[in-house]
């Protein structure tokens, strides 16, 4: 990650927490990721985990509660401070040799230039789409994943973004290839083409274990109020169908579990 060009959320971390994490879309994302990760055999015993671009650390804190040791990294000091505060509130240890969670303000580029260790599980969720050079990030991530280890990668799906905007009638936006002059602060600046992501992870030495769509139905509801009023039913449907095609390819985000050769 290049701090001069990649996005940090310092200054808007609280807004991000309120509008993204504390919403129906944030809850679906967390439930889907935890369900997918629970299928990994390596998490059936205590595991060392690296969370790159960890943000406010919801998934990391959940894994720590399950008995895993997690190292959270991010370029945003504000995001890490929120994650550390949540860890303390939940009674998780963050200091000492047996700490359940460790925090460091580091970029992916910093981590990959000075590799201290490789991890059996590396998380990289909703980060690639904020980077100036997402293809390079896959190669950097591969240096941090142990041979035979797993990368949990979630990215913003440009195909799904295009579809939803066509359905909303935003034809000029689609014709402009989903680019606008005025950037929306909480909207990813660089949605990714799934076929390109596939090329990048293959070139970096990864192969697919599983693919899941995240918010396959939530974002397409004509009646937006149903996202909250019928949340339990919506979540049940998301979990039932989001690993099946065509739904897996329609999620606003795509979650891949990848293994390193």
State how far the Cα of 50 lies from the Cα of 127, in Å rounded to an integer: 14
53 is known to lie in a ligand binding site: yes
Q: How far apart are CA 259 and CA 207, in angstroms?
A: 5
- Six token digits for residue 204: 């970096």
Q: What does the block give as tokens for 118?
A: 């490789």
177 annotated to bind ligand: no
- The CA dihedral of 78, 70, 185, 218, to the nearest 10 degrees, is -140
Known binder of ligand: residue 230? no
- What gap in Å lies between CA 62 and CA 171, rounded to an integer? 40
Q: Is 74 annotated as a binding residue?
A: yes
Specify binding-site residues.
29, 53-54, 74, 125
Specify binding-site residues for S-adenosyl-L-methionine.
29, 53-54, 74, 125
């Amino acid at each position: 990650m290049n701090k001069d060009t990649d996005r940090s959320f310092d200054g808007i971390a609280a807004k991000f927490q309120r509008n993204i994490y504390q919403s129906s879309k944030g809850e679906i994302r967390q439930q889907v990721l935890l369900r997918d990760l629970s299928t990994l055999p390596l998490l059936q015993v205590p595991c060392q985990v690296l969370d790159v671009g960890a943000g406010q650390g919801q998934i990391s804190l959940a894994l720590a509660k399950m008995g895993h040791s997690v190292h959270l990294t991010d370029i945003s000091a504000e995001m890490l401070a929120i994650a550390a505060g949540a860890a303390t509130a939940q009674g998780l240890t963050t200091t000492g040799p047996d700490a359940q969670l460790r925090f460091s303000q580091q970029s992916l580029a910093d981590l990959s230039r000075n590799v201290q260790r490789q991890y059996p599980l590396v998380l990289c969720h909703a980060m690639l789409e904020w980077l100036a050079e997402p293809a390079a990030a896959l190669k950097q991530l591969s240096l941090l994943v142990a041979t035979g280890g797993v990368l949990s990668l979630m990215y913003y799906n440009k195909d799904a973004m295009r579809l939803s905007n066509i359905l909303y009638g935003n034809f000029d936006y689609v014709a402009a290839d989903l680019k606008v002059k005025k950037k929306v602060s909480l909207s990813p600046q660089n949605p990714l083409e799934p076929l390109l992501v596939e090329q990048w992870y293959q070139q970096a030495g990864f192969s697919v274990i599983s693919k899941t769509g995240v918010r396959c139905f939530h974002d397409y509801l004509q009646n937006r109020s149903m996202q909250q009023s019928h949340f339990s039913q919506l979540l049940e449907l998301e979990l039932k169908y989001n690993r099946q095609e065509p739904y897996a390819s329609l999620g606003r985000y795509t979650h891949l579990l990848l293994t390193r050769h």
